[in-house]
Amino acid sequence: MNINSNTKLIGLLGQPVSQSFSPNIHNYLSQKYKKNNIYMCFEIDKNNLENAAQSIKTFNMKGCNVTIPYKVEIIQYLDKVDKNALLIGAVNTIKNVNNELVGYNTDGRGFIKSLTDEGYDLKNKKIIIIGAGGACRSIAVELANKEVFYIEIRNRSEENAKNICNLINSNFLSKANYDTNPVQENDLNNFDILINTTPIGMGSKDCPIDVNINPPKNLLVCDIVYKPHETALLSWAKNNNLNVVYGINMLINQGLLAYEIWENIKTSEDDLEEIKNVYFNSLK
């Protein structure tokens, strides 16, 4: 990578950001597509978030990603927000367009692409989602966009789950409901896809469901956690001969969509597998 006076800066705003794989994704893409960019992580204190957003304009940055815990709070400092990101209520990608900051959300779309890349048809499917945070919200909206039949959210507290269900039921043909009870064995018989959107399993052997559950044989199991690559949930699924979709696929796909927004280009179908190789090499 040749950094010079014309190099444009793209960044990640969040706290913490030290373990992020996003620089690997975007610096790889800039090198491959011969774009004179450099991608860096910025750990931002909450009191400095407004200043950080203004700095995108001040330094004429191409844009930024936004990660936890600022995906909602950043919206107030943007000039425009994409319709879907407004509906989701969170932004993970900012583009600097002639000194105007425009917000987008590629999380849910990245997850959906991870499924459709594997040939899964989502129309009329029944989905059970564990967790009711921002990731659940963006994924649920995009699932409803794909006309799934039913979404059930399992979360220990009611408020966030109820709000997401109201959002889906008010804006889409898909139906949504919630339950505050843990997932039980009989529950899974009614669903086609199980998705974990919580951080349970990140850097640990914890599992968001009881590993003694015997699932139905056609259940697809997805985890948005990408470290470790094979989480306890995915190990449980594979031990029960179920198909799985890994969290790294969503991470890379949302990154590819963000890069397309910044550069107005279409990335290659090969990019996912190429960047996964970069990811696996980084774990060695």
- Does residue 1 lie within any of the structural domains? no
Q: Which tokens sit at 49? A: 């978030």
**Type of residue at 56:** I
The residue out of 58, 74, 105 marking a domain boundary is: 105
Whether 270 maps to a domain, the answer reads no
Q: Can you tell me the distance from the alpha carbon of 223 to that of 249, in angstroms, rounded to the nearest whole number?
A: 10
Residue 156 corresponds to which tokens in the numbers above? 């220990």
CATH number for the domain spanning 98: value is 3.40.50.10860
> What pLDDT shows up at residue 44?
96
- Of 63, 90, 105, the position where a domain reaches its end is 105
Asked whether residue 26 falls in the same domain as residue 92, the answer is yes
Count of structural domains, the chain: 2
Same domain, 101 and 118: no
The model's pLDDT over 73-86, given as tens digits with 9 standing for 90+, comes to 999 999 999 999 99
What angle separates helix 134-145 from helix 159-171, to the nearest 10 degrees?
20
The pTM for the full model equals: 0.92
Range of the domain at 86: 8-105
Which residues on adjacent β-strands are paired with residue 176?
A: 151
- CATH number for the domain spanning 119: value is 3.40.50.720
pLDDT digits (tens, 9 = 90+) for 260-280: 999 999 999 899 999 999 999
Last-in-domain residue among 105, 121, 156? 105
How do residues 156-193 score in pLDDT, each as one tens digit?
999 999 999 999 999 999 999 999 999 998 999 999 99
CA distance 227 to 225: 6
Within-domain flag for 280: no
Shared-domain flag, residues 78 and 141 = no
Q: Are residues 58 and 121 in the same domain?
A: no
Residue 63 in this model has a pLDDT that exceeds 80: yes
Residue 148 lies in a domain: yes
Please indicate, yes or no, whether residues 114 and 243 belong to a single structural domain of this protein. yes
116 and 96 in a single domain? The answer is no
23 and 92 housed in the same domain: yes
> Tens digits of per-residue pLDDT, 113-138?
999 998 999 999 999 999 998 899 99
Of 34, 35, 57, 71, the catalytic one is 71
In a domain, 234, yes or no: yes
- To the query of whether residue 284 is one of the catalytic residues in this protein, the response is no
Q: Are residues 46 and 141 in the same domain?
A: no
pLDDT in tens, 194-225: 999 999 998 889 999 999 999 999 999 999 99
Average pLDDT over residues 40-69: 96
Q: Are residues 58 and 114 in the same domain?
A: no
Residues 240 and 126 in one domain: yes
In this predicted structure, the answer to whether residue 284 has a pLDDT above a threshold of 70 is no
* 66 within domain boundaries: yes
pLDDT score for 281: 86
Pair (114, 101) in one structural domain: no
Q: Work out the pLDDT band at 99, boundaries 50, 70, 90.
A: very high
**Residue 41 in domain:** yes
Q: Give domain status of residue 260, yes or no.
A: no
Say if residue 88's pLDDT is above 70: yes
Residues 137 and 213 in one domain: yes
